[in-house]
A = this chain, B = another copy of it.
Amino acid sequence: MSLFRLDASIFPAASAGAEIADTAEAEWAAARPGLPSVRRHLGTDPLPSDAWALATAAAGTPESDRTHAQRDAYALAVSLADELRGAEAVILAVPLYNFGVSQHFKAWVDLVIAAAGPTTPLLKGIPTLLVTTLGGGYGPGTPREGWDHSTPYLKRILADVWEAELVHVQRELTLAATTPALAALREPAAALHARALTDAREAGRTLVRP
């Protein structure tokens, strides 16, 4: 068994989500020494944008009638679903981009579903950490309340469709330290940063099952 780790930042060197995921993964690795982690980085190695339509067409076509492109895309989809099936724990770090779901994460979800089917509980009983990072603040009472259209979708797929045992660590205001317009929020942002790393350590320990 292994840990499956997925990242979706398009700027990995500066990724706030990767820091949280690394912190949690270190807890898992300390408790499960010698076990591998399987990594997929959608931000730096995005899946081809034509793969999903091809894989979906393949799924509805007898194997012998599939085109080469359909076969390749379907094989990719199967390999993505298998990465999830082979995991004893999962960590996914997915930033909020333009108020919505990472395009690369949605492409990955679509491909997994093309192979596994729309309602297969792929992660049933699997401890899964979702790390979300938001550049600004989206909480109750903020001007952007209700503008995070990503987190509810991520939870829907992971917890409701794939039935993962989901733990969620979120860090807001990740851009406060470097954005002049958010300078007044640097102190609360630093507190949220510290809190997220504490939460990450705790979440990492919950990924380890006896």
User: Given A98-B109, A106-B106, does the pair A49, B52 have CB atoms closer than 8 Å?
Assistant: no
| Complex contact B49–A99 (CB within 8 A) | no
A39 at the interface (CB under 8 A from B): no
Encoded as 1 (CB less than 8 Å from any B CB) or 0, chain A from 90 to 114 comes to 0000000111111110110110010
Q: Are A103 and B100 in contact (CB under 8 A)?
A: no
Q: Does A161 contact B (CB under 8 A)?
A: yes
Q: Which residues of B contact A50 (CB under 8 A)?
A: 46
A188 interface residue per 8 A CB criterion = no
- Contact A106 B100, CB 8 Å, known A10-B56, A49-B49, A153-B149: yes
Which one of B11, B52, B109 contacts A100 once the chains associate, using CB atoms below 8 Å?
Answer: B109
- Return the chain B residue nearest A135 by Cβ: B118
Interface centre among A49, A50, A102, A157 (most CB of B within 10 A): A49
A50 to B6, CA, bound (A): 17
Q: What residues on B are CB-neighbors of A113 within 8 Å?
A: 98
Q: Complex: how many Å from CA A106 to CA B104? A: 9
Q: Residue on B with the closest CB to A10? A: B53
Question: Is A43 at the interface (CB under 8 A from chain B)?
Answer: yes
**List of 4 A-B pairs having minimum Cβ-Cβ separation, nearest first:** A46-B49, A10-B53, A149-B153, A103-B106
